[in-house]
Amino acid sequence: MNSTPDTPTNFAFGRSNYVWLGIGIAVLAVGYVLMSGGGSDDPNVFDESIFSFRRITLAPTVVLAGYGVIVYAILKKS
C-alpha cells in the first residue's frame, strides 16, 4: 500500500507570502535597531540624545511600516 495520499498538500501561504513576511520582519528589526540606544551611563546625567529625530520619528515609522508589510503578507492571495 502507498502511505502517501494522492492529493497534493495545499499550504496556507505561497512562496511570495513568505518572501513578503521575511521582508516585513527585516524592516521591523531595522526599526527596533534604530530605536535603541540613547541611554546614559550615569543616572545623574540627562542625555538629550533620546529625543533625536531618529528615535522619536523615524524608528516608529519604520516599525509601523514593517507591521504593515507583515499584514500585507498575511492577507495577500497567493
Whether residue 2 lies inside any domain: the answer is no
Distance separating alpha carbons of residues 76 and 15, to the nearest angstrom = 11
Distance separating alpha carbons of residues 31 and 23, to the nearest angstrom = 12
Neighbouring residues of 67: CB distance < 8 A, sequence distance ≥ 6: 24, 28
Whether residue 4 lies inside any domain: the answer is no
Whether residue 27 lies inside any domain: the answer is yes
Whether residue 5 lies inside any domain: the answer is no
pLDDT in tens, 4-21: 666 777 888 899 999 999
How many domains does the structure of the chain reveal? 1
The pLDDT score that the predictor gives to residue 58 is: 96
Domain range for 43: 15-75
Mean pLDDT for the stretch of residues 59-73:
97
Whether residue 61 lies inside any domain: the answer is yes
Query: Which of 7, 28, 25, 29 minimizes the C-alpha distance to 17?
Result: 25
- Any idea of the CA torsion for 39, 32, 62, 23, to the nearest 10 degrees? 160
Decide if pLDDT at 73 tops 70. yes
